[in-house]
Amino acid sequence: MHLRRTLALLAGAALAVAAAVVPAQAATTDGFSVSGGRIYDANGTQFVPQGINHAHAWYPTQTSSFAAIRAAGANTVRVVLSGGRYGTSSASDVSNVISLCKANQLVCILEDHDTTGYGEDGSASSLAKAASYWTSIKSALVGQEAYVMINIGNEPFGNSGYSAWKSDTIAAISTLRAAGLKHTLVVDAPNWGQDWSFTMRDNAAAVAAADSNTVFSIHMYGVFDTSAEVKAYIDAFRSKSLPLMVGEFGDHHSDGDPDEDTIMSYTRSQGVGMLGWSWSGNGSGVEYLDMTNGFNASSLTTWGRRFINGTDGLKARAAAVATVYSGGSSSGGSSGGSSGGSTSGTAANGYPYCSSSSVDPDGDGWGWENSASCVVKGSSADTGSGSSSGGSSGGSTTGTAANGYPYCSSSSVDPDGDGWGWENSASCVVKGSSADTGSAGSSSTAANGYPYCSSASVDPDGDGWGWENNASCVVRGSSADT
pLDDT over threshold 70, residue 322:
yes
State how far the Cα of 90 lies from the Cα of 213, in Å rounded to an integer.
Answer: 25
265-314 residue pLDDT tens: 999 999 999 999 999 999 999 999 999 999 999 999 999 999 999 999 99
pLDDT over threshold 50, residue 438:
no
449-464 residue pLDDT tens: 677 777 777 776 777 7
pTM of the model: 0.67
Provide the pLDDT confidence category of residue 157 given band limits of 50, 70 and 90.
Answer: very high
Contacts of 102 (CB under 8 A, 6+ apart): 147, 325, 335, 336
Burial of 232 (0-12, 13-18, 19+ CB in 10 A): middle
- What Cα–Cα distance (Å) separates residue 182 from each residue in 26, 152, 207? 10, 13, 16
86-100 residue pLDDT tens: 999 999 999 999 999
Provide the pLDDT confidence category of residue 343 given band limits of 50, 70 and 90.
Answer: very low
- What Cα–Cα distance (Å) separates residue 215 from each residue in 71, 316, 387? 26, 25, 42
pLDDT of residue 408: 80
**Average pLDDT of span 355-360:** 74
- Please give the full DSSP string across 53-101, using - where no structure is assigned: EE-TTT-TT-TTHHHHHHHTT-SEEEEEE-EEBTEE--HHHHHHHHHHH
pLDDT of residue 451: 77
pLDDT over threshold 70, residue 390:
no
- Provide the annotated active-site residues: 155, 248
Q: How does DSSP classify residue 293?
A: E
Provide the pLDDT confidence category of residue 470 given band limits of 50, 70 and 90.
Answer: low
Per-residue burial over 152-190, b if 16 or more Cβ lie within 10 Å, else e, is bbbbbbbbeebebbbebbbebbebbbebebbbbbbbbbb
Most confident stretch, 20-24, 254-258, 478-482: 254-258
pLDDT of residue 391: 32
Provide the pLDDT confidence category of residue 368 given band limits of 50, 70 and 90.
Answer: confident
- Beta-strand pair 420-423/426-429: antiparallel
pLDDT over threshold 70, residue 344:
no
pLDDT of residue 385: 39
- What Cα–Cα distance (Å) separates residue 13 from each residue in 177, 198, 199, 266? 34, 9, 12, 22
Q: Could you tell me which residue, 431 or 117, shows the higher pLDDT?
A: 117
Contacts of 19 (CB under 8 A, 6+ apart): 240
pLDDT of residue 339: 30
**Mean pLDDT over all residues of the chain?**
83
CA within 13 Å, CB half, 171: 11
pLDDT of residue 1: 62
Residue type at 77 in one-letter notation: V
pLDDT over threshold 50, residue 329:
no
213-265 residue pLDDT tens: 999 999 999 999 999 999 999 999 999 999 999 999 999 998 899 999 999 99
Adjacent-strand bridge partners of 81: 112
Contacts of 462 (CB under 8 A, 6+ apart): none
- Please give the full DSSP string across 208-224, using - where no structure is assigned: HHH-SSEEEEEEESTT-
State how far the Cα of 233 lies from the Cα of 198, in Å rounded to an integer.
Answer: 9
Domains annotated for the chain, with CATH where assigned, are 33-325 (3.20.20.80), 337-445 (no CATH), 451-482 (no CATH)
pLDDT over threshold 80, residue 397:
no
Q: Could you tell me which residue, 393 or 291, shows the higher pLDDT?
A: 291
pLDDT of residue 444: 66
State how far the Cα of 120 lies from the Cα of 130, in Å rounded to an integer.
Answer: 17
